[in-house]
Amino acid sequence: MAAKRKYERTPRRVNVRFKKKAGNEEFAVGYTKNISPDGLFIGTIRPLPPRTEIIVEIKEGGKIRRRAAAVVHAARVSPLLASVQTSGMGVRFLDQVDAGDPVSGPREGDMATTVETQDRDERSTEAPASSPDLEVDLSDVERFREAFRRDIQHGLIFVQGPIASEIGEEVLVRVLVPGGVSDVALRARVDRETICRSEAYGELGTAGFMLVIVDADVAVSLLRASL
Range of the domain at 153: 134-224
Residues 162, 110, single domain; the answer is no
Which of 127, 42, 137, 45 has the alpha carbon at shortest distance from 93?
Answer: 42
In a domain, 3, yes or no: no
Residues 148, 180, single domain; the answer is yes
Residues 108, 149, single domain; the answer is no
In terms of pLDDT, which residue wins out, 178 or 33? 178
Angle, CA of 52, 54 and 56, to the nearest 5°: 145
Would you place residue 75 in the very low, low, confident or very high pLDDT band (cuts 50, 70, 90)? Answer: confident
- Domain stop point among 72, 95, 125: 125
Which of 86, 91, 78 has the alpha carbon at shortest distance from 41?
Answer: 91
Residues 14, 108, single domain; the answer is yes
In terms of pLDDT, which residue wins out, 116 or 99? 99
In a domain, 74, yes or no: yes
- Domain stop point among 95, 125, 155: 125
Rounded to whole angstroms, how far apart are CA atoms 55 and 17?
A: 8
In a domain, 181, yes or no: yes
In a domain, 54, yes or no: yes
Residues 46, 75, single domain; the answer is yes
Residues 121, 16, single domain; the answer is yes
- pLDDT tens, residue by residue, 147-158: 999 999 999 999
Residues 121, 29, single domain; the answer is yes
Would you place residue 167 in the very low, low, confident or very high pLDDT band (cuts 50, 70, 90)? Answer: confident
Residues 138, 121, single domain; the answer is no
Query: With pLDDT > 90 as the criterion, what percentage of the chain qualifies?
Result: 27
